[in-house]
Structure 1
Amino acid sequence: MKNKLSSGGLVYSTEAGRMCPACRQPVAQCVCRKTSAAPAGDGIVRVSRETKGRGGKAVTLVKGVALDAAALVALGKQLKSACGSGGTVKDSVIEIQGDHVEKVMTALKAQGHTVKRAGG
């Protein structure tokens, strides 16, 4: 019986860290992410609050921003400083620690984005 692990590939290397599953390069030197364009969306930025899987702590999520990776990181940095909080950018979603939905929505509207509150 053959081993079915051949379809998975290397995920982490102690030498290079996290590996890209598509191009099999370290994430820092990933070729496929640089060539991909900004994610296509409907032009509406959705801001929501989530606590699932975070030990009950609230996180503000910003989804649907049609920017490339570098501009998304810069926008995340602006929003984090406006809220006075930490956060990160993962998979084209800006995560800001804490419940800052209203602050984030006003900051995005001031920059000219169409913003909607998502979730409850």
Structure 2
Amino acid sequence: MKRNDGGASRLVYSTETGRVCPDCGQPMAQCACKALASRRPAGDGIVRVSLDTKGRKGKGVTLIQGVPLDDDALVQLGKQLKATCGSGGTTKDGVIEIQGDHRSTVIAALEKLGMTVKRSGG
């Protein structure tokens, strides 16, 4: 049987420690890869607000990216912005999505909170 990984093998289980992380090689109890992967990279401090219609059957969605907050605070900010706009939406992967074109409302609300905001895209 031919191997696709170029012949390199990696340890996935040890009888001494049990399951082993395939990325760092540490036992799963001591692995820090998940914690490092869950943190978002630091941005440039500018919040970007744009309108996106791709993959949504032509319906517009306001995207808010680059907010320098942790996940829990980002969810709370998303709830606050959705209530301000009177619309639905979601928060996932560090991006707040609000249904509809609410760019001007969102920009005003974020500037009121003291954030540097730019309108990106068209």
Identity in percent: 64
State the SS of the aligned residue for 1:56: coil
Distance 2:39 2:55 in 1: 30
Q: What is the match of residue 70 of structure 2? A: 68
Q: 1:35 to 1:56 in 2, by over 3 A?
A: closer
User: Shift in Å at residue 90 of structure 1?
Assistant: 1.2
User: Larger helix proportion, structure 1 or 2?
Assistant: 1
Paired residue total: 95
Who is 2:114 aligned against? 112
Higher-Rg member (1/2): 2
Calculate the aligned-residue CA RMSD, in Å.
2.1
Shift of residue 71 of structure 1? 0.3
* CA distance 1:111–1:3, change in 2 (3 Å): same
Deviations 1:24-76 (A, max 9, x none): xxxxxxx9259844530000000000101101100000000011000000000
Please list every run of 5 or more consecutive structure 1 residues that lacks an aligned counterpart in the other structure.
5-21, 23-30
Unmatched 5+ stretches in structure 2? 5-22, 24-32
Rate the CA distance shift 1:102–1:33 in 2: closer, same or farther, 3 A: farther
Distance 1:33 1:74, change over 3 A: farther
Per the normalisation by structure 2, the TM-score is 0.70
